[in-house]
Structure formats: C-alpha cells, structure tokens
Structure 1
Amino acid sequence: MESQIGYERLFDPQDIFFSTTDLKGVIQNTNRTFDMLSRYSRDRLIGAAHNIIRHLDMPAGLFRLMWDDLQANRPVCAYVTNRAVDGLDYRVFATVVPLREGYLSVRIKPMDTATRTAAEDAYRRVRAKERQLASRAASRHQIGEYGAGELAGELRSLGYGSLQDMTLASLPREVASLVSAGVRVPAVAPEAMGPVARILNTVASIERDTNALVFELDEYMRLITTMESTHASVAGVQGRISRIGQLVSLESGAAARTKAQVLAERIAELAQAANTELSGLPNRLSTMHDAVTQLRFAVALMRLLTLMVGRFAHSILDGSEEDAVHSLTDLCEALESGFAGLTPVLRSVSTQVGQLDDSLRTVTSSLDRAARRLGQWVDVRGGGEAASGSAVVDEVAGLTAQGFPEVRSLAQLAAECRGLALHYDATATEQRLMEIRRSLAELR
C-alpha cells in the first residue's frame, strides 16, 4: 500500500519490486510495484534506459561507482531516490546483481534511517560540486568521474573504504529490518499441488535454512568484534612478555647461575612463541572479519532473492503480475549464482575460525609453561613472598603475579567461535534449486 507525504511517495516493506536490464542498462522487465511507483506504463518502461526514473538530485558519481562494481562482476547496493513521471519522489534501497546477459535490480523500502540520511547528506554535497563542474562546460563523463572521486571521499568519512564496503555492511541490516517487519515467503495451502506449490514450498525451506545461517553469522560477528576490541589489551600482554624476557636475561646469580640461565633461555623461547602468535592476531582477526562480512552479505542476498522468488511464484496463483514466469526465471538465475559461491566462503570462514582457535591455544599453552618456569626462576633468584633485594627479581615476580588473563579471555572467545556450527547443506540446497528448475520448466 502506498501513501504520500509532501512530494514523496511512500510504500510498505512488503512492496518489494525489481527490474532487469540488458548489459547497456536498457530495461527488459519490470513488475507491477515498479510500474505503480514510477507511474510509467510497462510499455513505456520496456526498452527505455533505466535512467528514465533518475532523480536530478542524485550524484552522477554514485552511478559511476555502481557501474564500476557491476562491471567487475560484483553485486552493489545503494540508497537511491527516484522520480516518478508525475513528479513525486520515492526512496529505495537498491540491490543490483549481474546476470548472464544483463543486470537484476531489486528494490526495497529503506529502513536503516541513520545510514540512509548520512548517505543522502553526502549525495547533496557531491551533487553540488558536480553542478559547479557542469557550469564550466564539463562533459558527462568528466562529471561522473569527478563525482565518483568526491563520493568515495565522503564514504571514507562515513567509515566505508568504498561503495563495495558500504554494500557489504548495509544489505544485511536492510534485509534484517525487512524480515523484522514480517516480510516472508508467502505460505501455500497444505492441500495445494502443482509446480507453483512446489516452488513455494521449496523456497520456504531455503528461507528457513538461511534464517539459521543469519543467526549463526551474527554470533560469529559478535565474537569477532569483541576480540577486535581487545587489541589494546593484547598489546599490553605483549609488552609484559617482552619486559619479562628482557629482565630474566639481565642477571643470574653466581650460586645458581646454571639453573637460572637454563630457565631464562626456556622462558625466552616460550615468550617468543607466544609473542609471534599474538603479533599475527590483528591481521588474523581482520581477515576473519572480512570473510564473515562477505558471508553475511551473501546470505542476506540469498534471503532477499528467496523472498522475491516466493512472491513471484505466489503472483502466478493470484494473477497479480504480468509475465511472472519470465520474472521468476531471472530471479532464479540470480539465486542459483549466489548459492554457487556460498560454499567456498563458508569453508573459508570455518577454516579461519579453527586456525584462530589453534593459535590462541598455542599462546595460552606457551604462557602457562612460561609462568611455571618464571616462578622457578624467581625462587632460584631468591625471590618469593619476601623482597629479594634485587629490583629485577622483584619486578619479574610482580609481572608474573599479574598473569595473562586477557589472553585467556580471547582464547575462550575463539573456542566459542569454533563451537558455532555453520549449518548449511550444499547438497540439499542444490536439490531444492533443481526442484525449482523442474517446476519452472513445467510452467513455461
């Protein structure tokens, strides 16, 4: 259901819509919601350039950045304001994915208001600069390139290294909001039979699978973010380890020289092993964060496309869409392409989680063994409960007493990560996609 506030046309979260274009951006297909919001007839839209609905306040630089990602075969998302033929504006969150012979663009109601507002403020600043350049008789190509550079700078100020980074972060949030608003694959009557019922039941199963993955990935990200936030404490641990290594190598008493020296050498070896693993921790966590971010995006995209497939299958039953089978074919192509790339990323995340857990186990084991030998070293050097009379020994005793609780906390988080299972059955998904293909073939 749509409504209007001022010069803006609003729509509901349930009103998901899409279009497909060829490789040059010429519209090949639309759905009823697209037609209604744009107020163009389908005959007018089919064969027109997609910029027929472009709002003049949208920066050319955004579309340049989007096009660059698409030509690199990467999906891209953006907050976009369009203008209908009757002069009203409507805001969308657009997700564009490559197809074999063009592009599919799925639009939903944008619900992450804070991110959308920040993006729109950036757009206004960039568009003002583009207009200044246009006033100096710059070409459209020059304006697009210049705007792309300016918008890239604006995105960096918002914390995104690129439009692709914003894409990876924003789609999971927007799809989660869509699901929270109650948007689901339409249910089919239990007694329903035939190809449409099979498609609906199959995508409902896929929807349940991806929902489980979303929960698990959210937990992964929570644990990884918590570990990343402890980086400063890890640096403190490394500082204490290095200081202990320096101190124990400084002196060894004449009466116990041999034993102290042997202990000091072993402590240094264990400290070095722990420090080596801890030094690689930031890069390891960053790599894991990137992998989980990619995976969350891929799963969110699958959820969105699954919703679209379900809704178009249902439209065959209620007759609400023209040429719904053609639309389903395009949507299923995008769905299959997305699922094809899911297994390698899942495997990569699981491998990295295992490696992180192993690394932190090595650190805790090394530090536990070093701590035992440090206690022995302090005893040999005359330390213990009372002051030893040596500043070096007393400092080592104090550092040893602190222990390394920060590392133990990190190791526990890593073990929790490893304990999470990414429940995804690629074989079952392929069987479901085959069922959808068979059912589509019956409808053609």
Structure 2
Amino acid sequence: MESQIGYERLFDPQDIFFSTTDLRGVIQNTNRTFDVLSRYSRERLIGSPHNIVRHLDMPAGLFRLMWDDLQAGRPVCAYVINRAVDGLDYRVFATVVPLRDGFLSVRIKPMDASTRTQVEEAYRRVRAKERELAARAASRRQIGEYGAQELSTELAALGFGSLYEMTEATLPREVAALVAAGVRVPAAAPDVLGPVARILSTVAVIERETNALVYELDEYMRLIVAMEAAHDSISAARGRIMRIGQLVSQDGGGGARTRAQSLAERISELSGTAGSELGGLPRRLRSMHEAVTQLRFAVALMRLLTLMVGRFAQSILDGSEEDAVRSLRDLCEALESGVAGLGPVLRSVSTQVGELDDALRVVTSSLDRAARRLGQWVDARGGNGVSGSPVVDEVASLASQGFPEVRSLAQLAAECRGLGLPYDETATTQRLATIRGALSELS
C-alpha cells in the first residue's frame, strides 16, 4: 500500500519489485509494483533505458561505480532515489545482479534509515561537485569518472573502502529488516497442487534453512568482532612473550648452570612459537572477517531472491502479475547463480575458523609449557627476589602476570569452531532442480 508525504511516494516493505535489462541497460521486464510506483505503463517501460526513472539529484558517479562492479561480474547494492513520471520521488534499496544476458534489479523499501541518510548526504555533496564540473562544459564521461572518484572518497569516510564493501555490509542489514517486518515466502494453500505448489513448498524449505544460517553467521561475526577488539591486549601479551624469550636467551651460564641453559633454550623456542602465531593473528582475523562478510552477503542475497521466487510463484495463482512465469525464470536464474557461489565461501569460512582455533591451541600449549620451565629457570638462576640479577627479576615479574588475554581469545576461537554452519549444499542443489522441473511444467 502506498502513501505520500510532500513530494515523496512511500510504499510498504511487502511491496518488493524488480526489473530486468539487457546488457546495455534497456528494460526487458518489470512487475506491477514497479509500474505503479513509477506511474509508467508496462508498455512504456519495456524497451526504454533504465535511466527513465533516474532522479536528477543522483550523482553520475554512483552509476559509474555500479556499472564497473557489474561489468566485473559482481552484484551491487545502492540506496537510490527515483522519480516517477508524475514528478514524485520514491526511495529504494536496489540490488542488481548479473544474468546470462543482462541484469536483474530487485528493489525494496530502505529500512536502515541511519545509513541511508549518511549515504544520501554524500550523494548531495558529490552531485554538487558534478554540477560545477558540468558548468565548465565537461563531457558526461568526464563527469561520471570524476563523480566516481569523489563518491569513493565519501564512502571511505563512512567506513566503506569501495561501493562493493558497502554492498556487502548493507544488504544483510536491509534484508534482515525486511524479514523482521514480516515479509516471508507465501505459504501454499492446502488445496493448491501442481508445479506452483511444489515451488512454494520448496522455497519455504530453503527460506527456513537460510534463516538458520543467518543466525549462525551473526554469531560468527559477534565472536570475530570480540576477537578483533582484543587486539591491543593481545599485542601486549605478545610483547611480554617476546621479551621473556629475549631475556632468557641471554643466559650464557657456565657448567654450573647447564640446566638453566637448557631451560632457556626451550623457553626461547616455545615463546618464539607462541609469539609467531600471535603475530599472524591480525592477518587471520582480517581474512576471517572478510570471508564471513562475503558469506553473510551471499546468504542475504539468497534470502532476498528466495522471497522473490516465492512471491512470484504466488502471483501465478492470484493473477497479480503479468508474464509471471517469465519473471520467475529470471529470478530462479539469479537464485541458482547465488547458490552456486555460496558453497566455496562457506567452506573457506569453516577452514579459516578451524585454522584459527588450531593456531591458538598451539599458542596456549606453548605458553603452558613455557610457564612451567620459566619457574624452573628462575629457581635455577636463584630468583624469587633474592638473585640480585635484573634479568632474572624482570623475567620473574613478566611470568607472574601470566597470559589471561590469550586464554580468553582461545575460548572465543573454540566457541567459533563449535558453531558450525547448517547448510547442506547437495540438498539445496536438489531443491533447485525441483524448482527448475516445476518451472518447465509451467512454460
């Protein structure tokens, strides 16, 4: 249901809409919600360039960045203000994915008001600069390239290294808000049989499994963020470890101190192992963060497309869409493409989580063994405050602090490994085959 405030047309979260274009951006297909919001007829939209609904306040640089990502085969998301033929504006969160012969754009109601507001403010600043450049008789290409550079700078200030980084961060939030607003795959009526009923029941299963995966991924990210937040304390612990290794390695005692020397060598070896693993921890965590971010995006995209498939399957039953079967084929193609990329990323996340847990097990084991030998080394060197040796006293002081921050981190890594990811790639592939089979009956 739509409403109007000032010069803006608003719509409900349930009003998801889409369009497809060819490789040049010419509209090939739309759905009724797009037609209604834009106030263009379906006949007018199909065959027109997609910029028919472009708002003049949108920066050319955004569309240049979007096009660059799409040309590279990457999906892209953006907050977009469109203008209908009657002069009213409507805001959307657009997700665009490549198809074999063009692009699919799914638009939903923007729900993350804070991010949208910040991004739109950046758009206004960039667009003002583009207009200044246009006034100096710059070409459209020059304006687009300049705007892309300026917008990239603005996005970096918001914490996004690129438009694709914003895409990965914003889609999971927007889709989660959409689901929280009650948007679901429609349930097939008990008396409905045939291919449409099979599609609805199949995507409902995919939806449930995807929701379970989302929950686990949220837990993964929570634990990773907690581990990243421990960076400073871990750096301090590594500094103590390396300092202990440095100090005991100076032990060059004579025959009377042979045992101390032996202990010192082993302590140096163990502290070196622990320090090396901790030194690589920031790189591991960055890599894990990136992999989980990719996976959350892939799952959110799968979630969104599953919703669309379900809703268009329902439209075949209620007659609410024109050419619903064609639309369903486009949506299923995009869903299959998204699912195909899910398995490799999921396996990468599982592998990295396991490697991190293994690395921290090595660290804690090395520190435990080093700690036992440290006590023996200090005793052998006449420590415990009576040695008079600054080296021994410093080692004793450092050892007495222990390494509780490392144990806390190891516990987080173990929790992360214990989560698991409830996704059966084979079963999902079979479900997609079921949907394809049902679609072939409808064609």
With normalisation by structure 1, the TM-score equals 0.98
Residue 356 (structure 1) aligned with residue 356 (structure 2): yes
Superposition pairs for residues 72-91 of structure 1, below 5 Å? Answer: 72-91=72-91
Partner of 2:269: 269
Point out where structure 2 has 5 or more consecutive residues left out of the alignment.
Answer: none
Q: 3-state DSSP class of the match of 1:78?
A: strand
For 1:391 and 1:405, how far apart are their aligned partners in 2? 25
For 1:49 and 1:251, how far apart are their aligned partners in 2? 77
Q: 3-state DSSP class of the match of 1:90?
A: strand
Partner of 1:343: 343
Superposition pairs for residues 319-330 of structure 1, below 5 Å? Answer: 319-330=319-330
Superposition pairs for residues 394-433 of structure 1, below 5 Å? Answer: 394-433=393-432
- What do the CA deviations read for 1:356-399 (whole angstroms, capped 9, x no partner)? 01100001111111100000001111123x44322222221111
Q: 3-state DSSP class of the match of 2:388?
A: coil
Partner of 2:64: 64
Superposition pairs for residues 281-296 of structure 1, below 5 Å? Answer: 281-296=281-296
Residue 99 (structure 1) aligned with residue 99 (structure 2): yes
Partner of 1:221: 221
Contact 1:216 1:421 (8 Å CA) reproduced = yes
Residue 389 (structure 1) aligned with residue 414 (structure 2): no
Contact 2:10 2:90 (8 Å CA) reproduced = yes
Aligned residue type for 1:15:
D
Residue 442 (structure 1) aligned with residue 438 (structure 2): no
Partner of 1:128: 128
For 1:399 and 1:76, how far apart are their aligned partners in 2? 51
Partner of 1:22: 22
Partner of 1:236: 236
Aligned residue type for 2:155:
L
Aligned residue type for 2:106:
V
Aligned residue type for 1:270:
L
For 1:387 and 1:86, how far apart are their aligned partners in 2? 89
Contact 2:199 2:438 (8 Å CA) reproduced = yes
Contact 1:313 1:324 (8 Å CA) reproduced = yes
Contact 1:274 1:363 (8 Å CA) reproduced = yes
Q: 3-state DSSP class of the match of 1:57?
A: coil
- What do the CA deviations read for 1:190-215 (whole angstroms, capped 9, x no partner)? 23211111110000000001001100
For 1:313 and 1:319, how far apart are their aligned partners in 2? 10
- What do the CA deviations read for 1:216-244 (whole angstroms, capped 9, x no partner)? 11111111111111111111011101211
For 2:105 and 2:199, how far apart are their aligned partners in 1? 22
Aligned residue type for 1:168:
E
For 1:315 and 1:8, how far apart are their aligned partners in 2? 27
Q: 3-state DSSP class of the match of 1:117?
A: helix
Partner of 2:52: 52
For 1:92 and 1:246, how far apart are their aligned partners in 2? 59
For 1:235 and 1:59, how far apart are their aligned partners in 2? 43
Aligned residue type for 2:408:
S
- What do the CA deviations read for 1:321-373 (whole angstroms, capped 9, x no partner)? 00000000000000001111111111111111110011000011111111000
For 2:158 and 2:255, how far apart are their aligned partners in 1? 63
- Number of equivalent positions: 443
Contact 2:253 2:261 (8 Å CA) reproduced = no
Aligned residue type for 1:273:
T
Q: Compute the displacement of 1:252 (Å).
A: 5.5
Q: 3-state DSSP class of the match of 1:221?
A: helix
Contact 1:233 1:406 (8 Å CA) reproduced = yes
For 1:190 and 1:412, how far apart are their aligned partners in 2? 48
For 2:348 and 2:409, how far apart are their aligned partners in 1? 21
Contact 1:252 1:381 (8 Å CA) reproduced = no
- What do the CA deviations read for 1:239-290 (whole angstroms, capped 9, x no partner)? 1012112222334655742111111111000011111111111001100110
Aligned residue type for 1:397:
A
- What do the CA deviations read for 1:120-153 (whole angstroms, capped 9, x no partner)? 0000000000000000000101000000000000
For 2:248 and 2:425, how far apart are their aligned partners in 1? 54
Q: 3-state DSSP class of the match of 1:81?
A: strand
Aligned residue type for 1:432:
R
Aligned residue type for 2:173:
R
Superposition pairs for residues 30-41 of structure 1, below 5 Å? Answer: 30-41=30-41
Contact 1:316 1:324 (8 Å CA) reproduced = yes
Q: Which deviates more, 82-91 or 246-255?
A: 246-255
Q: 3-state DSSP class of the match of 1:20?
A: strand
For 2:428 and 2:246, how far apart are their aligned partners in 1? 57
Contact 1:353 1:414 (8 Å CA) reproduced = yes
Contact 1:253 1:381 (8 Å CA) reproduced = no
Contact 1:213 1:424 (8 Å CA) reproduced = yes
For 2:62 and 2:110, how far apart are their aligned partners in 1? 17
For 1:107 and 1:155, how far apart are their aligned partners in 2? 21
For 1:251 and 1:419, how far apart are their aligned partners in 2? 42
For 2:359 and 2:31, how far apart are their aligned partners in 1? 52
For 1:256 and 1:102, how far apart are their aligned partners in 2? 80
For 1:436 and 1:189, how far apart are their aligned partners in 2? 18
Q: Which deviates more, 283-292 or 252-261?
A: 252-261
Aligned residue type for 1:348:
S
Partner of 2:114: 114
- What do the CA deviations read for 1:94-139 (whole angstroms, capped 9, x no partner)? 0000000000000000010111001000000000000000000001
Contact 2:257 2:380 (8 Å CA) reproduced = no
Point out where structure 1 has 5 or more consecutive residues left out of the alignment.
Answer: none
Q: Which deviates more, 416-425 or 78-87?
A: 416-425
**Root-mean-square deviation over aligned CA pairs:** 1.0
For 2:244 and 2:433, how far apart are their aligned partners in 1? 62
For 1:229 and 1:303, how far apart are their aligned partners in 2? 30
